[in-house]
Structure 1
Amino acid sequence: MSRVVIGVDVGGTKTRMRLLDLAAGQVAGDRTVPSTGWQTRSLSGAATWLAQRIAAVPRPGDEVVRVVAGAHGCETPEQCDLLERELEAALGMPVTVVNDAELLVPAAGLTAGIGLIAGTGSVAVGRHRETAARLSAGGWGWVLGDDGSGSALVRDAARAVLARADDGAPLEPLGRALLRSYGVPGLPELAAAMSWDGGVETWADHAPAVFAAAAEGSVLAQEVIRRGGAGLAHLVECLARRGADTGAVVAAGGVIVAQPTLFAAFEKELAVRLPGVATTLLRTPPVAGAVELARRRT
């Protein structure tokens, strides 16, 4: 019988699960599935959804000694604790649940720091440097916040384009890029498409249009990206003011990893707000952080 641990990264788009054989010190399984159906409004439902997928990971004869799941949407310690208990009951295995941003620091090979996600949404998570209490900033959703995320960048870009139209100014590259991305002929159709055709959940898919417009020379798009980077730096600054360990900041997420201009804007703003704080753009999959946390807890 092989003693193994399972690391899970539940993201807004996909869920990745990795099996580590402790004796061999090697990854023995890696599985990615869509996150379709994942939600944290009902934590009992979330536990059922996740338990069904985790149960397919171990091999015959494996003894699972720890599961660590980084869960998108688990924004409070209370939510994480409840999901943890529900999962343990469903799986019959020892389980630890954290917010998915908490996977970033261990995935980077570090023991302390702030994890920052900028993908479909955005959130920063850390631990108090003295009490180790969990701290978070952001993660309020794409309508109310999540500045610097793909969804918020598209939201802010559309608002900037529509405000320019209200002033009577002609379309510039950002407006044209959004129309092309949505496949619509004009701004009324753009507003309708963003409101009704898939809604907020699809906004992040159009984030590349903002960066394409910025590369084309759109000052409007460049300002949207600058403000997005500043919004992400603000999340980290909030945690620093509340006592978080700022030994390192590890950033990850589909948007900030794929778009160097956003990471550059974030780094530039953070250097002004928190001089000397080191930043790392995570290239390792965050699920590696879940595996590392599981290994440390055995």
Structure 2
Amino acid sequence: MQDSTPLVVGIDVGGTKTHLRACAGTDVVADHVRASSGWRPHDIATAADWLTALVHDALPVDTRPSAVAVGGHACETPRQCAEIRAALEKRLGIPALVVGDAELLVPAAGLDKGVGLVAGTGSVAVGLLADGSRLQVGGWGAVLGDEGGAAGLVREAARAAWAAHDRGEAPDPLALGLVEAFAVAEVPALGAALESASDVSADWGRHARVVFTAADAGSRLAREVIAEAGKSLTALVVRLAERGVPVDDVVVAGGTVLAQPRLYDAFTTALAERLPGARPQPIRVPPVEGAVALARSIL
């Protein structure tokens, strides 16, 4: 590594883990994964302090980066991102960029425009307008939205099971799976079980596998829930397209959609119907690569 080669730092702060990668040219100087505990993006000073400590802990002693870019979980608005960026620049004394973590997907795929779509515990889509401004849709949480994410799938599965119960239908594999997962005696008790969750997104989302297991067992209800989830993820991309975001490429990430072929297929099928020219692709490299690319772009 040449001393004159700029050292850049990319950070992907996820909901559960954080990945930092520091590069000088093609050389990887540091590559660390740690828990995201302590990340509080709505407390600007705390978030900037947390990121500063992370950079200092990860890099060799007396090593000073030239730029840092962060993709942060729950960095939801341009104003919030700008405030964290300003605070981080003040602490590190170098150029910085802070964006939502979904915004790392397009540059990680080696693209300069397109849509980043995440369907993990929740769901969100993000893209850039022609003037470079960021536009995000979705990500409203399990109570109000996150259709196509794990928690949203469980919510809609419970609604489908309740509707079937109200129609007088016997519990099918989906209803039986939900009853077992939430440790209740019968379908009507699912409501109280869902409402008693201390962490709605996490407590609901961890049962998403029930929906796919039921679909494999022949549940018509489960298959309908998955098909609707695919259409909901497509709707996020359509909303971006309607507002002027280029959607030729859609880079897909998230533990739910990439781990469940039924959901990915439902999404791509719906996307082909609504936006025939869009090209979906699963992310094939760690999203932190997008943060490294963004850090290089601000030098």
Q: Which residue of 2 aligns with 1:152?
A: 152
* Aligned-pair CA distance for 1:188: 4.8
1:15 counterpart letter in structure 2: T
Q: Which residue of 2 aligns with 1:10?
A: 13
* Aligned-pair CA distance for 1:158: 1.2
Q: Counterparts of 1:254 and 1:55 in 2: how far apart (Å)?
A: 30
Q: Counterparts of 1:259 and 1:8 in 2: how far apart (Å)?
A: 27
CA contact (8 A) 1:101 1:125 kept: yes
Change (3 A) 1:89 1:188: farther
SS of structure 1 residue aligned to 2:104: helix
Residue deviations 1:243-266, cap 9 Å, x none? Answer: 111231101011111111111111
Aligned length: 295
Q: Which residue of 2 aligns with 1:77?
A: 78
Residue deviations 1:6-56, cap 9 Å, x none? Answer: 11111122211112123xx12222222222343333222322333332321
1:84 counterpart letter in structure 2: R
Residue deviations 1:154-175, cap 9 Å, x none? Answer: 1111111122223332211111
The counterpart of 1:20, out of the listed 20, 23, 29, is 23
Change (3 A) 1:184 1:20: farther
2:65 counterpart letter in structure 1: V
SS of structure 2 residue aligned to 1:64: coil
* Aligned-pair CA distance for 1:179: 2.5
1:1-298 correspondence runs (5 A): 3-22=6-25, 25-128=26-129, 130-201=130-201, 202-298=203-299
Q: Counterparts of 2:242 and 2:298 in 1: how far apart (Å)?
A: 29
* Worse-matched range after superposition: 230-239 or 67-76: 67-76
Q: Counterparts of 1:243 and 1:108 in 2: how far apart (Å)?
A: 21
Q: Counterparts of 2:168 and 2:37 in 1: how far apart (Å)?
A: 42
CA contact (8 A) 1:256 1:263 kept: yes
TM, length-normalised to structure 1: 0.93
* Aligned-pair CA distance for 1:215: 1.1
Change (3 A) 1:193 1:33: farther
Residue deviations 1:124-154, cap 9 Å, x none? Answer: 11111x3222111111222111111111111
Change (3 A) 1:90 1:288: same
SS of structure 1 residue aligned to 2:64: strand
CA contact (8 A) 1:7 1:19 kept: yes
Q: Counterparts of 2:217 and 2:40 in 1: how far apart (Å)?
A: 38
* Aligned-pair CA distance for 1:189: 4.5
Identity %: 46
Runs (4+) of structure 1 moved beyond 6 Å?
none
CA contact (8 A) 1:19 1:30 kept: yes
1:271 counterpart letter in structure 2: A
1:112 counterpart letter in structure 2: K
SS of structure 2 residue aligned to 1:63: coil
CA contact (8 A) 1:3 1:62 kept: no
TM, length-normalised to structure 2: 0.92
* Aligned-pair CA distance for 1:295: 2.2
